[in-house]
Amino acid sequence: MRRSALLVLFLATGLHGLPARADGDVQTPRVQAALAQAQAAEVGRGIGKNLMLAMALYCDAGTMGSGEGFFHVGRVLASAPRALRNPGLANSYLALATRLGNTQALQYYDPRVDNVLLGDPCGAFAAGLHTQSFDIEAYLSRQPRARQKIAASIRSAARQYKVDERLALAIALVESNLDPAVVPEGGAQGVMQLATAARQNSGGPRIVDGEQDIRAALAYLGQLHERFAGDWRSMATAYDAGAGSVGRCGAVPPHPCLETRQYVRRVLYFAGASPGEQPGVARQAPAAARSPHRGGVADKRADLPCCG
């Protein structure tokens, strides 16, 4: 009975644009980073305990294909204190987790409760990113020594390439959570995944050294800083989806791709931006943002199609 009800439920809660498979959990470096940061927010490790923030991060992992991410959203909603508990909404996320192959969801699913239809799968939790500011120093202080050394290298490179170190660290947190052992994704390497692949795609030498990866990433961010007059939102969008998509897709704001919107939201939160703020933005729109990228590190995703 329980499994039959759950089958009907996750078919009913299918969302356009979300993965629809049960062939194993997706565990890319970005997913692993979001899950680790969500757990830290749930238990209050290096981040003030914040269940809404935890669910926002778990949910972002889910939309990237992680059944574990959706499972944890459902688990928290099913067992949270009364003010946050929502069995119907929990069932919906547990159904999505099962759709992605997570069998743990069956333990929390309640067939006696009607499900809640979902629109934006993570929009309800986005407020969790604004209820308290992110204390990056406190978070880094609870990380292993190796990750703290990586953070110091990023700060140094950020100063060299005249990029705000808060933005640089935030991108590294979103890309890999500063984990030097992350598994490469799509040919990328290192804690700031995109820029390394960009260098390789440009015909340059294969980068295997962590310091080289960081310098390449900050060199690329330096180019984006110049191109977009220091606008963090544009820079984060370009780092994820390619500089060409910022103007072509009307990406500032919002980008039409859900994952990119969530990526930018996480970057701005970890960088310390407040809701509605455009940190670092110049007083006038940069003309370079409307022109093709010229020279320097190749843009890994400049030719990605717009999505809606």
**Please, which pLDDT band fits residue 174 given cuts at 50, 70 and 90?**
very high
Question: CATH assignment of 136-290, given 1.10.260.40, 1.10.10.10, 1.10.530.10, 1.20.120.140?
Answer: 1.10.530.10
**Please, which pLDDT band fits residue 73 given cuts at 50, 70 and 90?**
very high
3-state DSSP helix/strand/coil % of the chain, to nearest 5? 55, 0, 45
Say yes or no to pLDDT of 166 above 50. yes
Q: What is the pLDDT of residue 112?
A: 94
Mean local confidence (pLDDT), 279-304? 42
Q: What is the pLDDT of residue 217?
A: 93
Of 97-106, 130-139, 191-200, 206-215, the least confident = 191-200
pTM (predicted TM-score): 0.80
Using a pLDDT cut of 90, give the percent of the chain over it. 52
Which among 179-188, 230-239, 274-283 has the top mean pLDDT?
A: 230-239
Tell me yes or no: is domain 2-129 CATH 1.25.40.10. yes
pLDDT digit string (tens) for 81-133? 999 999 999 999 999 999 999 999 999 999 999 998 887 778 888 776 777 78
How far is the C-alpha of 192 from the C-alpha of 176, rounded, in Å? 7
Say yes or no to pLDDT of 61 above 70. yes
Say yes or no to pLDDT of 181 above 50. yes
Q: What is the pLDDT of residue 211?
A: 84
Say yes or no to pLDDT of 158 above 70. yes
User: What's the gap between Cα 210 and its chain centre?
Assistant: 21
Nearest CA-CA partner of 27 in 55, 67, 71: 67
Say yes or no to pLDDT of 256 above 80. no
Nearest CA-CA partner of 95 in 70, 65, 60: 70
How far is the C-alpha of 268 from the C-alpha of 265, rounded, in Å? 5
Domain segments of the chain as ranges = 2-129, 136-290
How far is the C-alpha of 38 from the C-alpha of 139, rounded, in Å? 12
